[in-house]
Amino acid sequence: MDQNQFMSALEAIVGQAGLVSDADSQSRYTRDWRGKYKSGALAVVRPASTNEVSQVVKACAQHGIAITPQGGNTGLVGGSVPAEPSREIVISLDRMNAIEDMDPDGNTMVVQAGCILADAQTAAERANRLFPLSLGAEGTCMIGGNLSTNAGGINVIRYGNMRDLVLGLEVVLADGRVWNGMNRLRKDNTGYDLKHLFIGAEGTLGIITRAVLKTFPRPSDRVTAWLACDSPERCLDALNMLRERLGDAILASEIIPAIALDQTLQQIPGTKPPLSPSPPWSLLIEVGVFDEARAVRDTVDGVLQDAVIEGVIYDGVVAQNIAQAAAFWKLREGIPEAEVKSGPSIKHDVSVPVHRVAELIERGTALLHRLSPGARPVPFGHLGDGNLHFNLSAPAEAVGDPQAEAAFLADWDDINRAFHDLVQEMGGSISAEHGIGRLKKSELARTADGVGLDVMRSVKTALDPNGVLNPGKIF
C-alpha cells in the first residue's frame, strides 16, 4: 500500500474538512466511551454524503484498507473503535446528520445516519409525533449506531427495540455499492427483508447511511410513579397489576435496588430521595395518556391502592407535575454515572424471560457474592422486557486503592463466564442491548448455538468476503 497515495485519494473524495489524520484530533474517534479500548487509525474520514461514503469504501477496497464505521462512539463493548489501527480507517457519519423528511400523516421520518437521537426525538415532537427510542446517551448517540446495535432503552416494553422502529434503510456495502432499501411500506413481502441483516450487525455487514423511521402519536400526558417494594418479586407483581388494567399504555418500567438509588443520591448533584426511608426495591413506572388524563390517573391510583391492600407495594408517590417526574427519571438515568463515581465495576448486560427476572436477581446476587466476597451487586434495568444491567461494584474498602481495584478487575473474565453460564441456564441472553463488539466476542463463541454462528459467518462471508468491515468485532 502506498499510504500517501491512499491519503490523497481520501482527501480528493471528502476534502480537508472531511479528513482527520493527526493522532491528537483522532483520539475522540479512537477511544471507546468507557476508555477500555484505546486505539488509533490511519485516518478518520468524515463523509458528507452517501456518495462520498461509497467512494471512500471503494478506495479502501482498492488499497486493502479495513473500515470501522462509527456513529456517536457511545457503545459499551468496544465495537466502534479500530481493532487493528495500522490497517484501518474510521468512517464517522457525524457530518451526515440531516433530518430529510417528516411525514406526520404517514407516521414516518427520514434521517441520515449521523442524526443525533435527541434531534430525531425533537423533530418528531415538533410534528406532534413521538420517536420513542430513549436511552442515557441520547444527546450524543446517532441513529446509525442505534440501528447497528439494535438499541433498546427504556421504552421497549411499549414500542420495541430499534429493529421495531424502522421501515427502510440505505446501506453502503463492502464493495462500495449502495443498497437502496428506503421503503416506507408497512407491508411488503417481496423476498427477504434485507434491512434486518444490517440492524444489530454492528457495522460488520455494511455501513448504514440513511433510514426511514417509524413515529407514533404523542401521549397527551404521562403519569409517572415511584413505588416501594420489599422484593423483586413484588416489583413484578406490581407491574403485572398495572398491565392488566392499563395494557400498552405502560411506556416504561424500571427496577432499582437500594444500592443503586443510594449511589445516585450520593454522587449525582441535585437528586433527592422520592421516598423516605429509601425502599429496598423501587419500581419506576411511566404511563402514557392518550385520552382523558383524569381517567388514567384515577386508574393508576386505584391499582396502587389495591397493590397496597394486597401487600404488593408498601409505599409510593405519583408525580404531581413535570418537574417531579423529571426528578424521578434523573435518579434512574444517573445510575451509570453514579456507579462510575463509586469505584470500578464489572458489567453485565443480560436478559431473561420476564417471569424469571426475580429469580435471576436472587441467584445472580448469590453467585456474585461467592465469586467476589465483599463486592456489591447492583442489578437494575428494564423490568418489563427482562433486561438487567447486573453490575458488580468493587468492595467499598477497595475503592481508592489501586492495587485492590486492579485485583478486583482482574477477575472480570472469570466472573463474566460464570454469570453468563447462569443466564444461559435460565434461557437468557449474554447481551440484551449493548451488542458483542470486542468485549463479548469470546463469550459469544463459547455460548452461542454452533449452527447459528455458522450461519452468521456465512452471511458475513457473502457480504464482506475480504473481511474489511469492522474486523475483530463479533467474531
| Residue where the block lists cell 424469571 | 356
**Same domain, yes or no: 207 and 127:** yes
Residue 291: what pLDDT?
A: 79
What three-state secondary structure class fits 95? Answer: coil
Residue 1: what pLDDT?
A: 59
Residues 3 and 42 sit within 8 Å (Cβ to Cβ)? yes
The CA distance from 465 to 451, in Å, is 20
Give 136-190 pLDDT, tens digit per residue: 999 999 999 999 999 999 999 999 999 999 999 999 999 999 999 999 999 999 9
The CA distance from 140 to 132, in Å, is 16
The CA distance from 110 to 57, in Å, is 23
Q: Left if phi > 0, otherwise alpha if psi is -120 to 50, otherwise beta: which for 472? A: left
Grid cell listed for 400:
481508592
Domain count, the chain: 4
**Same domain, yes or no: 197 and 171:** yes
Residues 216 and 107 sit within 8 Å (Cβ to Cβ)? yes
User: Which H or E element spans position 291?
Assistant: none
**Same domain, yes or no: 167 and 263:** no
The CA distance from 98 to 121, in Å, is 13
Asked if residue 449 belongs to a domain, the reply is no
Mean pLDDT, rounded, for 222-251: 96
**CATH classification of the domain holding 390:** 3.30.70.2740
**CATH classification of the domain holding 44:** 3.30.43.10
> What are phi and psi for residue 464, nearest 5 degrees?
-140, 70
**Same domain, yes or no: 44 and 73:** yes
**Same domain, yes or no: 130 and 206:** yes
**Same domain, yes or no: 329 and 260:** yes
User: Which H or E element spans position 246?
Assistant: helix 232-246
Asked if residue 184 belongs to a domain, the reply is yes
Question: Given 320, 336, 352, which residue is the final one in a domain?
Answer: 336
- Residue 205 corresponds to which amino acid? L
Neighbours of 164 (CB within 10 A): 13
Asked if residue 324 belongs to a domain, the reply is yes
In 3-state terms the chain splits into helix, strand, coil percentages (rounded to 5) of: 40, 20, 35
Asked if residue 13 belongs to a domain, the reply is yes
Which residues have CB under 8 Å from 325's CB, separation 6+? 222, 224, 286, 319
Walk across the sheet containing 88-92 and list its strands: 19-20, 43-45, 88-92, 66-70
**Same domain, yes or no: 351 and 365:** yes
Asked if residue 253 belongs to a domain, the reply is yes
The CA distance from 431 to 150, in Å, is 11
Residue 215: what pLDDT?
A: 98
Give 372-430 pLDDT, tens digit per residue: 999 999 999 999 999 999 999 999 999 999 999 999 999 999 999 999 999 999 999 99
Question: Given 416, 434, 452, which residue is the final one in a domain?
Answer: 434
Residue 153: what pLDDT?
A: 94
Residue 334: what pLDDT?
A: 96
Asked if residue 457 belongs to a domain, the reply is no
Which residues have CB under 8 Å from 35's CB, separation 6+? none
Name the residue range of residue 134's domain. 99-217
Mean pLDDT, the chain, integer: 95
Preceding omega of 465 cis (within 30 degrees of 0): no
**Same domain, yes or no: 241 and 316:** yes
- Long-range pairs for 322-330 at CB < 8 Å and ≥24 separation? 324/224, 325/222, 325/224, 325/286, 327/271, 327/272, 327/274, 328/224, 328/226, 328/274, 328/284, 329/224, 329/284, 330/268, 330/270, 330/271
Q: Euclidean distance between the first and final Cα of the chain, in Å? A: 26
**Same domain, yes or no: 58 and 147:** no
Residue 92: what pLDDT?
A: 98
The CA distance from 12 to 16, in Å, is 8
Write the CA distances from 385 to 171, 217, 251, 351, integer angstroms. 29, 22, 11, 8
Question: Given 281, 313, 336, which residue is the final one in a domain?
Answer: 336
The CA distance from 359 to 83, in Å, is 37
**Same domain, yes or no: 209 and 227:** no
Asked if residue 403 belongs to a domain, the reply is yes
Residues 84 and 473 sit within 8 Å (Cβ to Cβ)? no
Asked if residue 2 has pLDDT above 90, the reply is no
Mean pLDDT, rounded, for 345-362: 97
Asked if residue 461 belongs to a domain, the reply is no
Query: With bands split at pLDDT 50, 70 and 90, how would you rate the model's confidence at 23?
Result: confident
Give 203-223 pLDDT, tens digit per residue: 999 999 999 999 999 999 999
**Same domain, yes or no: 393 and 380:** yes
**CATH classification of the domain holding 113:** 3.30.465.10
Cα angle 370, 375, 376; round to 5: 110
**Same domain, yes or no: 106 and 61:** no
Closest among 89, 51, 85 to 203, alpha carbons compared: 89
